[in-house]
Structure 1
Amino acid sequence: MRAALGAAVAACAVTALLPAAASAEPTTAGGLGSSVERVSVAADGTQADGDSAGASITPDGRHVVFSSSAKNLTPDATTGSEKVFVRDQQTRQIKQMSSNSTPIQPPVISGDGQYVAQWGKLFKDTKIFLSQAGTGRTIGIGCSGLSCSQPSLSADGRYIAHVATFNRPASRQSVEVIDWHAGAKVTVAEFEHTLPARPSISGDGRYVAYEDGEAGDVFVWDRTSGTSSGPIEDSSKGATLVQLSDDGTKVVYLSGSDTYVHDMPSGTDQLVPNVRGVAIDPTGRYLLYAPADTTGPSLTLRDLQTDTDKIVSDQPASAVSHAVSAGGRDVVFQSTAGGIVPGDTNGKSHVFVRHFG
């Protein structure tokens, strides 16, 4: 039952896609009391000629990373396959990250916007590619397994939590943290299976939340003690990890049709019923969620302290973890729906940022 639940909610992205998207400048839309802009555009505002998705944003809202098959986002964009791009919201410039592979899952960016980690296939195995956002230069990162996957970055990009898989065909795996500055590695947990582990590291690199995909349990490892606590959920229920907040105080997980926000200091859970949590802001206060049913807005931002909601998208849309900036000020998402901003003419999937306040 618990393994089945883990498989049923395996994707961290919550998806609902339909027709087209649009415009480079912030535009008030939908009567939502906020502004929205499309960020998967070239520096001159030209819309991307390919599909873009899987976006995350830095805590300060300045940098957005996403993958795209577009060929016109930068003058030197590589043609033919999906690549990773970083957009500086302050300068409106976009840069392609170099890599020898096509990304398998959404890229991740360090909290300071300086590093981007990609997970892609290289020959028979998968590898993690770490790039400097400013220069696009790739830094070699090795792990102890044949394949490395599911990267999560600390705020300064120094620590990389990931999964190392062993044997071919793969039969076991471990959750590891690499300190690539010091060339050191720590094993967080080991499993005799290869079901998703989804490690999520705190901003300071001290805590790592991870999942035992076979048992359907969520744990949190503490670098200071070198031990893991958990399962953090009710042991009679299965759970799937969504994200650890950057400050390490909140863990979002799914169980059944509900979302729970676990407070690490108190050990208590806050229930958000009948919704699927997608991401939490760095402070742990704002939860991005999608409805469990098909009615209402596709993405909503909840203030967990006041239990008030703001609509992020009232049209079909999806998002991934780390999609919310600090204080819930900005939310990145993707959609093929028309009418989100004016000027959408090509029916592609685009990346947007909803600005609140």
Structure 2
Amino acid sequence: MNKHTMRPLVAVGLTLGVVAVTAATTGTATAAATVDRVSVGAAGAQADNVSGGGIPSADGRYVGFTSNATTLSPQDENLVADGYVRDRVLGTTELVTVGTGGKASGGLVNDVSADGRYVVFTSSANDLVANDFNGMSDVFIRDRVAGTTEIVSVASDESAAQQRSLDASVSKDGRFVAFTSFAALADEDSSSSNQDVYVRDRTAGTTQLVTITRKGGEGGGKDPSISDNGQFVSFTAKSKDYVKGDKNKAHDVFVRDLTKKKTERVSVSSKGEEAAKRSFESQIAGFGRYVVFTSAAKNLAKGDTDKKVDVFVHDRRKDKTELVSVDSAERQAKGPVVTPSISADGRYVTFHAGEDLRAGGKVTDSLYLRDRNAGTTKPLNNRIATGGSVISGNGAVVVFDAIRGTVVPDDTNNLRDVFAYTR
């Protein structure tokens, strides 16, 4: 996913739509930071419709995103949402929701592999691969190097899903893809109509159930995030049958070890106390040690004194849970905090807060970067980010959505666009 450690972003001349970000414009202390617009065509053409859902590669060079625009690629003639990958070094934009023959079919980008080669996306099109007759949304993976497109949301015997599949996450090398499906794609899920999480091993050609209970049945779940090596998958579920002692009757965040065939709950306090309220929006970092998530519970970590949604990081090695939606003085954000993202090493966490965490700040929607090692929290914008944000695996690039035309000087389309903030 966006959690992979790779070489630093190559410093080249990004001339189109790039603006230097200073303390005067965003409140950050890093004068060398830059922001460039990602949702543009190869020749710099602005999008003529909304764009969003940006996902960076491990070093931030490549950014996958979805757009309703028709001006980003000459291949796009279908008048529906399509997925693209922007190469921020070469300044190229590639249409990726296409079949092996290159025909645009539409779809939503879900994730990008570490090196940007593989893109997983969801599409209801029936012409991306042969024999796709289910009439449902499926999960596909595009190999940008080989120019091939492969369906992922199938059973181990290659039989098609008979219900919709969506919301995919890819391992570092593109071999493993986690996704959710309402279809029964494994023997343990032969009679269920719940939404469950699966992992497709593209090398072995197998599909296994992730949301499997202690008794061996399916328990339901969603929002998967897979580790770099494909061994661990975090997900959200309400079932009480994954671990012993689950009595809160609320959604929790779990991690499944696909090698040891064990599931643990991570939305717990450092003492192992279960969350008093629901937890969700998880992302697993790097090789699976850290998991970031949001929760409305106030009994998970010290310093959480309100009943609003906050962001936490659970260290699976030390069994410690930390409140990270705080300012540099460890004061808790008073507004709801959402859409967290974490770097591969677990050091950096980004989140949106409904309160300005700077001294004397006002209530607003701002994007922040928490450095867990330094204990600091810095704003990355001046109330310009309006959609979800994702940090690259190396922690150097944060991709976000924004509507304002003041992020870069040549933004005149008055539409939601995707931007990349380089620290």
Corresponding residue number in structure 2 for 1:235 = 274
Letter in structure 2 aligned against 1:279: S
Q: Quick check: 1:149 aligned with 2:166? A: yes
Match of residue 334 from structure 1: 401
- Distance in 1 (alpha carbons) for counterparts of 2:289 and 2:87: 28
CA contact (8 A) 2:196 2:220 kept: no
- Spell out, residue by residue over 1:253-286, the C-alpha distance to the aligned partner (whole angstroms, 9 max, x if none): 1111211100111111011243334211122111
Shift of 1:101: 5.4
TM-score by length of 1: 0.85
Alpha-carbon distance, 1:172 to partner: 1.7
Please show how residues 176-195 of structure 1 align to structure 2 within 5 Å.
176-190=198-212
With CA pairs under 8 Å and 6+ residues apart, which has the higher RCO, 1 or 2? 1
1:5 is matched with which residue?
A: none
Deviation sequence 1:41-86 (CA, Å, 0-9, x none)? 1222221222110001011111100001111212222341110000
Asked if 2 retains the 8 angstrom alpha-carbon contact of 1:242 and 1:277, the reply is no
Q: Deviations over 1:77-114 (max 9, x none)?
A: 2341110000111211111011575435x421111211
Note the alpha carbon deviations across 1:217-267, whole angstroms, 9 max, x for none. Answer: 111111221111125424242211321112311111111121110011111
**Deviation of the 1:306 alpha carbon:** 1.2
Letter paired with 1:313: N
* Equivalent-residue separation in structure 2 for 1:309 and 1:297 (angstroms): 15
Segment drifting more, 152-161 vs 75-84:
75-84
1:162-201 to structure 2, matched below 5 A, reads 162-166=179-183, 171-190=193-212, 197-201=222-226
The corresponding residue for 2:131 is none
Q: Do residues 113 (structure 1) and 181 (structure 2) align?
A: no
Query: Is residue 2:347 matched to residue 1:344?
Result: no
Of Structure 1 and Structure 2, the greater strand share is in 1
Aligned pair 1:244/2:284, yes or no? yes
Letter in 1 for 2:110: P
1:173: Cα distance to partner? 3.3
Residue pair 1:285, 1:304 contacting (<8 A) in 2 also: yes
Is 2:140 aligned against 1:129? Answer: yes
Conserved in 2, the CA contact under 8 Å of 1:206 and 1:223? yes
Aligned counterparts of 1:217 and 1:308: Cα–Cα separation in 2: 28
Partner AA of 2:289 in structure 1: T
Spell out the pairing of 1:1-357 with structure 2 (5 A cutoff). 24-29=16-21, 30=25, 32=28, 33=31, 34-97=33-96, 98=98, 102-103=106-107, 106-122=109-125, 124-134=135-145, 136-144=147-155, 145-146=161-162, 147-166=164-183, 171-190=193-212, 197-213=222-238, 215-233=250-268, 234-237=273-276, 238-256=278-296, 257-272=309-324, 273-274=332-333, 275-293=337-355, 295-296=363-364, 298-320=366-388, 323-356=390-423
Name the CA distance, whole Å, in 1 between partners of 2:341 and 2:105.
27
8 Å Cα contact 1:95/1:136 also seen in 2: no
Q: Determine if contact 2:224/2:235 at 8 Å carries over to the other structure.
A: yes
Q: In structure 1, what is the equivalent of residue 187 of structure 2?
A: none
Counterpart Cα distance in 2 of 1:347 and 1:202: 37
Pick the structure with greater CA Rg.
Answer: 2
CA contact (8 A) 1:24 1:41 kept: no
- Structure 2 spans left out of the alignment, 5+ residues: 1-14, 126-133, 156-160, 185-191, 240-249, 297-308, 325-331, 357-362
Tell me, which stretches of 5 or more residues in structure 1 are unaligned?
1-22
Corresponding letter in the other structure for 1:299: L
Bigger shift: residues 265-274 or 294-303: 294-303
Equivalent residue letter for 1:200: S
Query: What secondary structure, in the 3-state scheme, does the structure 2 residue paired with 1:252 have?
Result: strand
